[in-house]
Structure 1
């Protein structure tokens, strides 16, 4: 039986245990920032409440991103990698590690459903960006990929630019080394061989990730489609064609710029570094909840 003197000791022990349980929440690592948001995309860091992803809101390791039918969001990671999440998607940032001095690191995400696009930053130049879906494990090196996961788990992975893309299941592995190739994988099946992306399917994917008027014309090439909108600021692929320059507009709005000569690689690198530095200094926005049926939140 506890004595009156033992109650303060028990209380202190309880408080100490509660403090230990809170540590994992405080230890969530910041991995990047929301650089564009349309609609009301939501993010839920580990052991924290879900909040709306507005421009300037930090994102963390193990955060789950969820979008509705009219939502899109664009995340910029500390190494310069960008992740665009389309409507009706769910993506989890499983792991992000980056050594800025050595420009080495690791990025792993899980795509449970929906459409997403990855434009590799420093991590993908010497390592692999890993994407896990219900039907496949995908590795992307140094480039741009668009991945679409159906509700039944079927995965379509488009390799638009870069060094390579690997698609693996328990039954086998396939590799694409040439841009413009697609893999399609069903649950429990071996990945099929890569085949050329149908030209008429490039536009719908871009429209879903961007605003419709930012979509490239039907006759655009694979690199031109990859450059449309958000990818233009993060990819190492220079905007050398008139079509690509014309499509490099601010995401979801803003006037089209006049055609100008492509910028030298050194200037592009400086611009990306300045963009990253600016975003790292942005203050974190206060959490907001998704608006209810009665209107926007107060």
Structure 2
């Protein structure tokens, strides 16, 4: 079953989707759905944009890898949730209604980001070094370090970049 309303909207170069069934990979085209458990992977000369029905959109740069772990969205629902696992590459995304009416989590090799309506930019190097940057509105963003603890950014200090 497709993550409702999720489709490849922009496509440059070879973009591969590895289905949750081991060994099944397909090259995508504009309009293809993305399914729960799918891994979207871009090559050196490609990038892709993915839109979801709640208004969430992801843009993946070249040499990126993202897995769709969870996507639950009901327009009138109060228990919506998403979980994306980013393991490599550069990602820019806009949080949609799920972030406002439920739980939106972004997993990286070093931290889990809880999103509440911001536009984060995440860069994950081949060695796992991860950089987060975003304009943060008060009360809208929190991150959890994998080693424990939480961090909050004072929005009055303007834009920030954090390396973990």
Relative to the length of structure 2, the TM-score reads 0.87
In 2: Cα distance, 1:45 partner to 1:103 partner = 29
Q: Answer yes or no: is the 8 Å Cα contact 2:93–2:121 preserved in 1.
A: yes
Aligned to 2:3: 30
Once the two structures are superposed, the pairs formed by residues 10-49 of structure 1 within 5 Å of their partners are: 28-31=1-4, 32-47=6-21, 49=24
Aligned to 1:166: 143
Higher relative contact order (CA 8 A, sep 6+): 2
In 2: Cα distance, 1:40 partner to 1:54 partner = 9
In 2: Cα distance, 1:140 partner to 1:177 partner = 16
> 5+ residue gaps in structure 2?
none
Structure 2 SS opposite 1:124: helix
User: How many correspondences in the alignment?
Assistant: 158
More helix by share: 1
In 1: Cα distance, 2:27 partner to 2:142 partner = 32
More strand by share: 2
Q: Following superposition, which runs of at least 4 residues in structure 1 exceed 6 angstroms of deviation?
A: none
How large is the RMSD of aligned CA atoms in angstroms?
A: 1.8
> 5+ residue gaps in structure 1?
1-27, 186-298
The answer to whether 1:144 aligns with 2:123 is no
Aligned to 2:97: 122
Aligned to 1:66: 41
Structure 1 residue 161: deviation in Å? 4.7
Relative to the length of structure 1, the TM-score reads 0.50
Structure showing greater radius of gyration is 1
Question: Measured at CA, do residues 167 and 184 of structure 1 come closer, stay the same or move farther in structure 2, by a change above 3 Å?
Answer: farther
